[in-house]
Structure 1
Amino acid sequence: MKYSKKTMTKLINEHRELHDELKKIKKEMGLEKNLAIKALYHSAVANSGPFMQEYQDLERLQ
């Protein structure tokens, strides 16, 4: 599975908890949005994360 900012952004927009987590990552780590999205991908999607299946479903639709 490959990281896609477009797919990750769609996933974040569909799930309020991911949106809140993104804001938290940006604030706590002082990251800009693009890096925070990538960090969220690695924590919530990659390596059998809780949102991996939904991410894969969005990837197939593109």
Structure 2
Amino acid sequence: MKYNKAVMTKLINQHRDLHDELKKIKVEMGLEKNLAIKALFHSAVADNGPYMKEYQDLERLQ
């Protein structure tokens, strides 16, 4: 599965907990938004993460 910023952004906008986690990553790690989104992808979606199925569903709609 490949990282797609547009799909990841949609997923974040649909889930408040992902949005909150994104903010937390930005502050704690001092990352800019794009890198924080990518980090969130690797922690919450990639490698059978809890949001992998929803991400794949959104990706199919693209």
Q: Is residue 2:61 matched to residue 1:58?
A: no
TM-score (norm: length of structure 1): 1.00
In structure 1, the partner of 2:48 is: 48
1:48 deviation in Å? Answer: 0.1
Secondary structure at the counterpart of residue 39 of structure 1: helix
Name the amino acid aligned to 1:61: L
In structure 2, C-alpha distance between the alignment counterparts of 1:32 and 1:11, rounded to whole Å: 18
Q: TM-score when scaled to structure 2? A: 1.00
- The separation in 2 between residues aligned to 1:2 and 1:38, in whole angstroms, is 11
Distance 2:14 2:45 in 1: 14
Which residue is equivalent to 1:29?
A: 29
- Measured after TM superposition, the shift of residue 32 of structure 1 is 0.1
CA distance in 1, matches of 2:32, 2:14: 21
Runs of 4+ in 1 over 6 A off after TM superposition: none
Q: Post-superposition shift, 1:61?
A: 0.3
State the number of aligned residues.
Answer: 62
